[in-house]
Amino acid sequence: MNTKRWIALGVAVVLFVVSLGFQAVTSVVTADFEKMFNFPDSSQKFQEEVVEEGSGNKIAVLELDGVIQNASTASLLNTGGYNHERFLEMLEAAGEDSTVNGIILRVNTPGGGVVESDEIHDKIVKIKEEHDKPVYVSMGNTAASGGYYISAPADKIVAHSATLTGSIGVIMESFNFAEFANEHGIKFNTIKSGEFKDIMSQSRQMTDEEREILQTMIDNLYGDFVDVIVEGRDMSESKVRELGDGRVYTGEQAANNGLVDELGSLTDTIAIMKEDNGWDNAKVIEYKKGLEINEFLGGTLQGMFKGQTELFGIKELLRKSNGPRAMYLYSK
């Protein structure tokens, strides 16, 4: 490479570094620092945004929006969407806060992981038993599968007439490209310690014995789902199994078959909780949390790399697809 090309390359590198620096400075200058560093004081873990002014009793609204999963936080680029640990912390804080008299969960999710859904369910049951606080659910666009699982123990479920809910059941999926591999002469070498160590392998056909093992596991998890609804909704097991064939219901259909109690919006749910408990002038707040430094940096990186973040997301999905797991999930 001649001298002129080295100089051109050096100039290009300098311009690239300057460009990155400019974008970083722009992000800092335009950042909402009040929001970024507006952390709760030591006596209050989460900020309280007032939804309705009032005195006396207090209702806390907690929003659950997105797929219920304990996503990896290793990457700075994973900054948005549902945060499982944070939601559990919000639930616990609302339960332990003596100034909070009632809790409304605003649920908008197609469901998610079996374990994560069960953790939320158990936290709700604990709040009701240990703190004797009413817990209502207001369903948004979708509250299906795991979304219904976590709603079942609520004292009252309110859905919009067009809400998609139900999808009671368990699913486990994986890709299988064994036929494609055979056609193209692709061979796989697998060293395993036991016969079923590579169960649900993507590189070979599933055996009948393997399918039976997995079906038994799914049936057991489905039985747990049925039990949660039987206990939470005071329904017979036969009725739950009749309704729980995996189909989704509109909010209106769910109200007609007993899966939800009333039809309405979040505002209606707040009014219903007030009326049910005689809290005419209750204050309504929503838990918020200030933008943390890792979220700020992640947002800055997303702005700098733009389209590259989509590639990172695809790589993350491919990585997770290698480990299929049982899900309480409604997916198209």
- Catalytic residues, by residue number, are 145, 197
SS (H, E, C) 252-264: HHHHHHCCCCEEC
214: number of Cβ within 10 Å: 17
Cα 283 to chain centroid, rounded:
27
* Both structure tokens of 65: 């929006």
Pairwise CA distance, residues 131 & 101, whole Å: 9
Rg (the chain; Cα; Å): 25
Query: In this structure, what DSSP letter does residue 206 have?
Result: P
* Both structure tokens of 153: 């123990």
Torsion on CA atoms 207, 213, 216, 222, rounded to nearest 10: -90
Residues forming a β-bridge with 233: none
